[in-house]
Homo-oligomer: A and B are copies of this chain.
Amino acid sequence: MKPYSLMSAQELAAEKSAVSAKYADFKSQNLKIDMSRGKPGADQLELSSAILETVTEKTGFRALDNTDTRNYGVLGGLPECKRLFAEILDVKPENIIVGGNSSLSLMFDYISQCMTTGAGSKPWMMQGNVKFLCPAPGYDRHFSICEHFGIEMIPVPMLADGPDMDVIESYMNDTLVKGMFCVPKYSNPQGITYSDATVRRIAALKPAAKDFRIIWDNAYCVHDINDTPDKLLNIFEACEERGSEDMVIEFTSTSKISFPGAGVSVIAASENNIKAITERLFVQIISYDKINQLRHARYFKDADGIKAHMKLHASIIKPKFDAVTDALNNQLAGLDIASWNVPNGGYFVSLDVTGAAASRVGELCKDAGLKLTQVGATYPYGNDPHDRNIRIAPTFPPVDELKIAMDVLCTAVKLAALEKF
């Protein structure tokens, strides 16, 4: 296709007339499609439904060590569940805490702990105006945690192999810079996996703040969608070489393995950090839901069990990602008004609108009945400096609906660009 910028006035007018007509047609259809969040589709949920049959009166409620999972106790998680996630994350079981249904809560609670009691330091709240490095575009829920606690966010540009490490390193002398949020594999929203070199540079950071903490949100650790998955270097292996294990707290969950509303969440951390977190957990909770932990351990058994299960997810998700990239390729390639990534896993496709304002695209989609992630949400304070990024979450709508949604989106991108000529 010919780039809009090279089209004649006549060509542009013809194109605008055609695109406007198509958009008007969508508007008249009273569509109602939600592509705003990274929610698994109904067919993905069915994959795990049998998990509920694994712990019943018939099967019994006892863990392998004979713990009655219905009663109080076992603060850090069931041993068999720890082993399962230790294998997945390639750490030792004693470096694992298994939590409740939300890794977001584990992260929030950890930041809250740092604010109120510090990280082997004075409480962050008592140290002045603390700051976090936030690779952007990134996950809006991370940014919300910072905002909630009044932690100043410093956006760090994302490059093809992870966050711009030069920028990150330039902040290491500031003792008020207390940490960083990372989604190191299939990053939200770009689907970028940090390169080995990036992971090693992160492990080698020498922050002036001894209580600097990296929130390593490995949400998509096993969420490959094709046969050429990305490989992420184990951050703790890299840290070990540098003696920097205390700097990193890793999180993951089964929200997109079993159930988003009823999975289990996981922390992996150094001995010191496990100790500090456990001391707080001892006051915060008597135990997380061990019946649900037992369900997961019994159902998935081991890392191979999880990997086999993730292939089933991939078989459902892959056609959806294909529908997204096919639409982008067919409708936008060559126009020179947008660029996008084609990820090997994760939950999102990130679209950068270079020929128009993303906010205008969002408006046009909304008016045509397509709900996107709030434009801007992928940046700290909702402030996308170039008004460019749109997060596409293809998993929730069925494929047919998704195709329509992409058609609407591409039409809106074109119309918004044409409006500018």
Contacts and interface: CB of A to CB of B under 8 A. Distances in A.
Contacts of A100: 100-101, 289
Contact of A148 (B42, B50, B117): B117
A333 interface: no
Interface stretch (A236-244, A278-286, A321-329): A278-286
Interface in A87-105: 100-102, 104-105
A126 B126 CA distance: 8
Interface string A25-59: 00000000000010110100100111011011100
A392 to B, nearest CB: 17
A291 interface: yes
A7 to B, nearest CB: 43
Interface in A60-78: 61, 68-73
A102 B259 contact: no
B290 A261 contact: yes
A70 to B, nearest CB: 4
Interface in A245-291: 255, 259-262, 280, 282-291
A97 to B, nearest CB: 14
Contacts of A109: 109, 284
Interface string A124-163: 0110000000000000010011011100000000000000
A284 B108 contact: yes
Contact of A73 (B55, B73, B261, B284): B261
A262 B283 contact: no
A294 to B, nearest CB: 10
A358 interface: no
A341 interface: no
B285 A71 contact: no
A123 interface: yes
Given A71-B45, A259-B70, A108 B283 contact: yes
A115 interface: yes
A102 B283 contact: no
A292 interface: yes
Contact of A145 (B68, B115, B283, B290): B283
B289 A101 contact: yes
A234 interface: no
B259 A71 contact: yes
Contact of A52 (B37, B55, B115, B149): B55
B284 A71 contact: no
Contacts of A57: 49-50, 52-53
A315 interface: no
A283 B72 contact: no
A285 B108 contact: yes
A61 B37 contact: no
A175 interface: no
Nearest to A112: B112
A289 B286 contact: no
Contacts of A55: 52
A135 to B, nearest CB: 19
A5 interface: no
Given A57-B52, A61-B49, A116-B116, A261 B108 contact: no
Interface of A: 37, 39-40, 42, 45, 48-50, 52-53, 55-57, 61, 68-73, 100-102, 104-105, 108-109, 112, 115-117, 123, 125-126, 141, 144-145, 147-149, 255, 259-262, 280, 282-292
Given A49-B70, A70-B259, A101-B289, 12 more contacts: A39-B72, A49-B57, A52-B291, A101-B288, A105-B284, A108-B284, A112-B112, A125-B126, A147-B283, A148-B283, A259-B291, A289-B292
Which 9 A/B pairs are nearest by Cβ-Cβ distance? A262-B291, A70-B259, A108-B284, A72-B260, A148-B283, A45-B70, A101-B289, A49-B57, A105-B285
